[in-house]
Structure 1
Amino acid sequence: MNYTEEYKRKLVTPEEAVKVVKSGDWVDYGSFTGSVVVLDKALATRRDELWDVKIRSCTRFTGIPEAAIVDPTREHFIYNGWQLSGYERKLSDQGLCSYIPIVYYEVPEYYRNYIDVDVAFIPVTPMDKHGFFNFGPQVSHTMAICEKAKKIVLEVNPNIPRCFGQEEAIHISKVDYIVEADYPIAEIPAAKPNDIDKKVASIIMEQLEDGCCLQLGIGGMPNAVGEMIANSDLKDLGIHTEMFVDSMVDMVEKGRVTGARKNIDRYKMVATFAGGTKKTYDFIDENPMCAFLPVNYTNNPNVIGQLDNFVSINNCIDVDLFGQINSESSGIRQISGTGGSICFALGAFQSRGGKGFICMTSTFSKGDKIFSRIRPTLEPGSAVTIHRGMAPSIVTEYGIANLKGKALWQRAEALISIAHPDFREELIKRAQEMGIWRKSNKR
């Protein structure tokens, strides 16, 4: 087959490509740094022709979607997100983005068994000599989207890094239309850790050992851990993570990560998507050390549990004295999403020698007021991201509270011991009122 000729036959303008969308359709936009830009803009221009078009995306890093903001009534375009980026959070605050609750590793099967896709808009690398377009660093559930889609339109962008793995590419024979684009890949600089983040990171560092396999979440605190690991004398570490980030590049370049002691996927750094700066995108491009795999593998607790000495490090927003962990909302305001924290908490528990950590600063501020992240109960409407029975160890700058196997009064005691000292007496009082404090508890 002459793939070049087939490419030419399927190549159209963005304006022509979006004509495949009909009123009432479900349209997928891709995920993370692989969320369409030119096709979104072209679809937005059809607002007055279309009604009730439902759009899905996941953690869009490529700017505010035009189709969402051109229709504030949501009569024409209804935007939905599996996990909210900062752009989508702004839309959600305006009532222009609806959150879809998930358990992340299940998402490919949501597509295959439960939901419809009329049109898939997917960013890809240029076609290779075999007729394949690579999805780049957002494998996640992309193949499942394409399998379910009635029509597939590719947005070809030469700036997307080509990533090795599984379910990472689609053949031109499966594609209906192709459009060409040329925009930079969105860079996601890691949040700069503050002194408290570094203190929490130093506590985590004491729990690490040679040969352990790491998962790091997003944010200043996991980034602080990554920086400390890169500058440590740890050796033969492994990576099996959801998101590949800049600090992992540093860990490899400084000799900390080899993957030599991994039980499965030896010598490979496994992830399902990447979000970082140009340093990360250059590193993962055609790098055989990196394996980008679908999320029903990377985040599957049964897979994670096969890795000995697996260490999961994630953030949260707040925790209550019962051990309920909220990582995604402030009351009813959706901030992000469930993400992979529950997947890795469960997987770390199944791992021989595994450890799961949910990290946070003990306090946060609003204006000139300081609040405790350890609360008597979660704020009404807040999501319980991790059930209290599944809760791993909680870490603040005051230490580690291991909640596994502990009664409610023991949990309250452990959590209050790592709360900020200024809030401990009030937390004890509230614990007493709720009947989860014993007089014999340590003060």
Structure 2
Amino acid sequence: MDYSKEYQEKLISAKDAAAMVKDNMWIDYAWSANTPVAFDKALAERLDELNEIYLRGGVILWEPEVFKKDPKGEKVVWNSWHAGGPDRNRINKTPGGFYNPLRYSELPRWYRENCKVDIAVIVTPPMDKHGNFNFGLSASHLMAVIEVADKVIIEVNEKMVTGLGGFEHEINIKDVDYVIEGENPEIATLPKGSFGEVDKKVAELIVEEIPNGATLQLGIGGMPNAVGSLIADSDLKDLGVHTEMYVDGFVEMAKRGKLSGAKKNIDRFRQVYGFAAGSKEMYDYIDGNSACMAAPTSYTNDARVIAQLDNFVSINNAVNIDLFGQVSSESSGLKHISGAGGQLDFVLGAYLSKGGKSFICLSSKFKNKKTGKEESRIVPNFEPFSVITAARPNTHWIVTEYGKYNCKGQSTWQRAEGIINLAAPEFRDDLIKEAEKMNIWRRTNKR
């Protein structure tokens, strides 16, 4: 069947698409690398005609033109499901940026049951011979967005990769209202998380806990990237992937023959992911690769799905951890950093898995840029207004360069001792004093 006539009938300019935006509309800007470019530029050019509009998106990899045109946040209210760098700046520095707290697994359902979307704009590769537009690098929650949107606009970019499914990873021309042909810019990349000696030490402690045939989830950042690199150089085999975010570490493992997926209980031989952001090498690897399986986060992040995968290993970062084993990964005080994402989903799912383990990793200390002094990432109490991402009953393994500790089922005094032993030595005495004040330290504890 030839879909070219219907395609041409729905083809409009970015300027005409942006002209549909009216005051107080909710506009969905898709997700990460699928964030619109041509539409965004056209909308920025007519912001002077508007009073206030509401945009949703997340993990954006470049600063949108509407942000530049409205630097004080007077007209464009950005609502982020998870913050990348530009989201973070908008949230922390203007009254025109806000974070929407939600577990990533809940996002598709939340759209379907609660969200108003006047216009949804999604960047995709060109339409295929079956009249389908693939969601490229972000299956995520985009089908749910489309299902509730009053108008669906596809912005075609010939350089966007094709992420095979899976399910909920493409839309047919019959369900599209308008098509924009953009200028085909290069797909935005995310620098590989660099890692140093501390990251390597943490990675070594985690990798020795991973059995052959395990299924992995890696978060973003230096430490998970170090784990991926170490696995690539290890003797591990028949590993699988089931993750919300596909990162460069998986490509390194795949090219070294570590990822067969043969031992997975479900989706055997497939590397399952919700969205991808990383290097061009990674995009080229995903493009049309049947070993990779794009799926919505209502599947990738569902603890009930994760629990079906034996020996599931989840590896994520944190900002701070307190002596109760509470994990703060979203903010430092009022400074917003990222979001809830899927951390709690995978902490819960990994523990429910037969033989599964979740690891929260962090360096023991950092240098405060304002004071120039080193500070402990393990703290008695979080800075006021810091957000707790994983509550203490859910925390499993905590890892720093000084060791690892399994918090699950341990009493408050046992946790205090185990967690303090993960802190940098120069901070331990002060942490013990604070633990004594908090009545979570016994005199018989090791000093």
Would the TM-score normalized by the shorter structure come out above 0.5? Answer: yes
Confirm or deny: 8 A CA contact 1:58 1:82 kept in the other structure.
yes
User: Which letter maps to 1:254?
Assistant: R
> What does 1:36-435 correspond to in 2, within 5 Å?
36-61=36-61, 63-95=62-94, 96-165=96-165, 166-181=167-182, 182-367=184-369, 368-435=372-439
Confirm or deny: 8 A CA contact 1:23 1:52 kept in the other structure.
yes
Q: Distance in 1 between matches of 2:245 and 2:76?
A: 29
Aligned to 2:19: 19
Q: Distance in 2 between matches of 1:72 and 1:395?
A: 40
How much has 1:97 moved relative to structure 2?
1.5
Confirm or deny: 8 A CA contact 2:2 2:129 kept in the other structure.
no
How much has 1:347 moved relative to structure 2?
0.3
Q: Distance in 2 between matches of 1:232 and 1:382?
A: 37
- SS across alignment from 1:43: helix
Aligned to 2:30: 30
Aligned to 1:440: 444
Confirm or deny: 8 A CA contact 1:60 1:85 kept in the other structure.
yes
Cα offsets for 1:208-238 (capped at 9, x unmatched): 1111111111101000000010111111011
How much has 1:351 moved relative to structure 2?
0.1
Cα offsets for 1:276-334 (capped at 9, x unmatched): 11111111111111001000000000000000000000000000111110011010111
Aligned length: 442
Q: Distance in 2 between matches of 1:385 and 1:114?
A: 23
- SS across alignment from 2:78: strand
Q: Distance in 2 between matches of 1:327 and 1:241?
A: 18
How much has 1:73 moved relative to structure 2?
4.7
**Unmatched segments (≥5 aa) in structure 1:** none
TM-score normalised by structure 2 residue count = 0.97
- SS across alignment from 2:393: helix
TM-score normalised by structure 1 residue count = 0.98
Confirm or deny: 8 A CA contact 1:272 1:298 kept in the other structure.
yes
Cα offsets for 1:332-364 (capped at 9, x unmatched): 111111111111000001000001100000001
Q: Percent identity?
A: 49
Q: Distance in 2 between matches of 1:35 and 1:8?
A: 23
Once superposed, which parts of structure 1, at least 4 consecutive aligned residues long, lie more than 3 Å away?
72-75
How much has 1:246 moved relative to structure 2?
1.5
Q: Distance in 2 between matches of 1:250 and 1:2?
A: 40
How much has 1:190 moved relative to structure 2?
1.4
How much has 1:51 moved relative to structure 2?
2.4
**Unmatched segments (≥5 aa) in structure 2:** none
Confirm or deny: 8 A CA contact 1:68 1:78 kept in the other structure.
no
User: Which letter maps to 1:150?
Assistant: D
